[in-house]
Structure 1
Amino acid sequence: MQRSNAWQPSATLAVLRERAALLARIRTFFAHREVLEVDTPVLAHYGVTDVHLTNLRTHISGEPTPYFLQTSPEYAMKRLLAAGSGSIYQLGKVFRDDETSSRHNPEFTLLEWYRVGFTAAQLMDEISQLLQETVAAPPAQKVGYQELMIQQLGVDPLADDAVPRLQQALSERPELTDLVSKEQDRDTLLDIAMAMVIEPALDPAMPTFVTDYPASQAALAQLNAEDPRTAHRFELFYGGLELANGYQELTDAAEQQQRFQQDRLRRQHLQRDDAVADPRLLAALEQGLPDCAGVALGFDRLLMIHLGSPRISTVLPFAIDRA
């Protein structure tokens, strides 16, 4: 009888050794900076309201309400920050009910950290240092979201007439015509533009921070006082991948609750399942979140870039099809 080889690891043993070495280098990086490693639950009472994310759910015997596998340790880490933890980081598993592809696995490892007293600019500098020290990346560059859109599409994403201009500019690309011809939601059009036009045009050899995202796309970030149409949110692109997403963190509980409600209304508009805002996070914000900046960085994708691996399955011990 011929047996299946699905029992075998997705990654080679050599890659698993590289994986362990990179984990060790990251931990050394934070140990030298006296940033505390923490370990928060991956199973919790609440999920996220973000319209772009969906929590996997499960039930515990005898309990009627579902539990949620976490898409990020953010909420629990912010509760630790409010409790006085100081700067913290976490390397752990997260889960997203999303597509499976060459760059997506439903279960993956996330590196997330928060630096008390840091600005978003200071955190970007530290991320660049992390990449240089752990995977020998070149120093990162920064470019504004608005500037990129104007350069690549000739459209100001913050202008009042952004929707028709985005429709026109994107429709000129045959592969996008059907996708955008009837789309009226500005953020959806901007997401298409970023994924299909902007991101592919970035130099894969150069780590690039895209900064100052539109306020409507930064639910957990502080608004920019100099231009409240934008927020202190950034994303890092490297090696042809979206690698990290970070904020100057919002600390106002009332404002955060309002943004969660906006998420729920947008979910309703898009005909997606409702999601209850996490009251424990809001209670922590009411207690007082210190001024801080935070970022989530995909560890598996960082290893892909470091090893030149085109598929996430090749850097995981067991990808979803072998789990």
Structure 2
Amino acid sequence: MTLPVWRPTAEQTALKGRARQLAYVRGFFADRDVLEVETPVLGRHGVTDLNLDSISADVSVQGQSGGWLQTSPEYHMKRLLAAGSGPIFQVSKVFRDGERGSRHNPEFSMLEWYRPGFDDQALMNEVADLVCGWLDCDRPKQLTYRDALITLAQVDPFEISDEALKQRCEEWLDPAQLADMGRDGCLDLIMSFVVEPNLGRACPEFLTAYPASQAALARTSEHNGERTAHRFELYIDGLELCNGYWELTDFCEQRRRFEVDNHLREQAGKPAMAKDEAFLAAIEAGLPDCAGVALGLDRLLMLKLGTRDIAEVLSFPFERA
């Protein structure tokens, strides 16, 4: 039966489940003396990441105009870290354009936290504590990005030629569509259609050691002869739950990555995004050695309630908002 347009899509059990989940999260961090913070939902900058499309806001105040709804509280939280906040977490609403489906809504709830003195391995342990404590599930095992693609897609992401990679992707796109797609775009396609749906089926799995070209804001190092990122994602029943980094603290490298991002955006026909100079200044002033992670709270609740449609855990998804 079709619901009247005014009705929420989440049932009362989901609303109560969300309240319990928030109480659990806040209790988890209170026990560990991690400070809860708030940062702007409306900021002066969007993000340069090729795979994220920020939503612009038409704001005019005190001679300044523009603004962006934030895709993540990351930049602002790192400014707090540079100012000496110590370990922090935040529950926030974030926004990404062009995302709506059974796992996506343009507005969604994110839990993000940062741990000075942690590396990616230490943070994975804490992610497992939080997630497995809430879901009452087995602790995750680890699988490298390379091993996942070799095992599940018979593709070595570091050895396969660009030509062979595009030929493999012709299973989903025709050659004309693939002509301007870069190597990482092709790998993302294989990840989406072949690898991700099979991750975390027997037990939760952390995917680690991404190619350096997919480092985003993570630091990199040599791993088995290849440059890889200190980045991880957690998968449960084929659902990506979080994305974490041992954070990059090199100001010059961060600025360079923003420039590379904008070059890739222009190649893809997307507008270049202004660099967030306040964020870069915070990195230059001294972002502490830390690890951070962003976790989708709506997806975590989906797993808890056993649903595969995000609308069932949202009061009002975009089409009803």
Fold shared per TM-score above 0.5: yes
Quote the residue 2:39 is aligned against.
40
Mapped to 2, the partners of 1:118 and 1:179 lie a distance apart of 45
Maintained 8 Å contact 1:163/1:184: no
Higher strand share: 2
Q: CA RMSD in A?
A: 1.8
Corresponding residue number in structure 2 for 1:20: 19
Structure-2 separation of matches of 1:21 and 1:179: 49
67-76 or 122-131, which deviates more: 122-131
Instruction: Tell me which residue corresponds to 1:85.
Output: 85
CA distance in 2, matches of 1:192, 1:42: 30
Paired residue secondary structure (1:125) = helix
Structure 1 equivalent of residue 108 of structure 2: 108
Structure 2 CA distance for aligned equivalents of residues 288 and 228 of structure 1? 28
Contact (CA 8 Å) 1:162, 1:186: kept in 2 or not?
no
One-letter amino acid matched to 1:314? E
- The aligned residue for residue 152 of structure 2 is 152
Match of 2:278?
Answer: 280
CA distance in 1, matches of 2:213, 2:65: 31
Q: Note the 1:248-267 alignment, pairs <5 A.
A: 248-267=246-265
Question: Aligned residue for 1:197?
Answer: 194
Please state how far the C-alpha of 1:183 moved relative to its aligned partner.
5.3
Instruction: Look up the match of 2:305.
Output: 307
Separation in structure 2 between the aligned mates of residue 162 and residue 88 of structure 1, nearest angstrom: 42
Distance 2:212 2:265 in 1: 17
User: 1:149, 1:45 → 2: CA distance?
Assistant: 38
Q: Which amino acid aligns with 1:126?
A: E
**TM-score, normalised relative to structure 1:** 0.93
- Per-residue deviation at 1:22? 0.7
SS at match of 1:92: strand
Distance of 1:318 and 1:309 partners within structure 2: 16
SS of corresponding position for 1:111 = strand
CA contact (8 A) 1:235 1:245 kept: yes
Q: Deviations over 1:29-51 (max 9, x none)?
A: 11111111111100011110000
1:58 Cα deviation from its structure 2 partner: 1.1
Pairwise mapping of residues 1-323 of structure 1 onto structure 2 (< 5 A)? 5-61=4-60, 63=63, 65-159=65-159, 161-171=160-170, 174-176=171-173, 182=179, 184-226=181-223, 227=225, 229-323=227-321
What is the percentage of aligned positions where both structures have the same residue? 49
User: One-letter code of the match for 1:293?
Assistant: A
1: CA distance, partners of 2:226 / 2:37: 34
Report the CA distance shift for 1:9/1:205 in structure 2 as closer, same or farther (over 3 A): farther
Q: 2:76 is aligned with what amino acid?
A: A
Deviation of 1:6 after TM superposition, in Å, equals 2.1
SS of match in other structure, 2:210? coil
Once the two structures are TM-superposed, the CA of residue 177 in structure 1 deviates from its matched residue by 5.5
The 1-side partners of 2:226 and 2:166 are apart by 24
- Asked whether the 8 Å contact 2:6–2:320 carries over to 1, the reply is yes
Gaps of 5+ in 1: none
DSSP 3-state at the match of 2:108: strand
The whole-number CA distance in structure 2 between the counterparts of 1:180 and 1:196 is 16
Mark the CA change 1:310 to 1:178 in structure 2 (over 3 Å): closer, same or farther. Answer: farther
Letter in 1 for 2:20: A
Distance (Å, rounded) in 2 between the aligned partners of 1:179 and 1:18: 46
Give 2:116's aligned amino acid: V
Which runs of 5 or more structure 2 residues have no equivalent in the other structure?
none
Higher deviation after alignment, 291-300 or 61-70 = 61-70
Amino acid aligned to 1:143: L
Inter-partner Cα distance in structure 1 for 2:39 and 2:184: 32
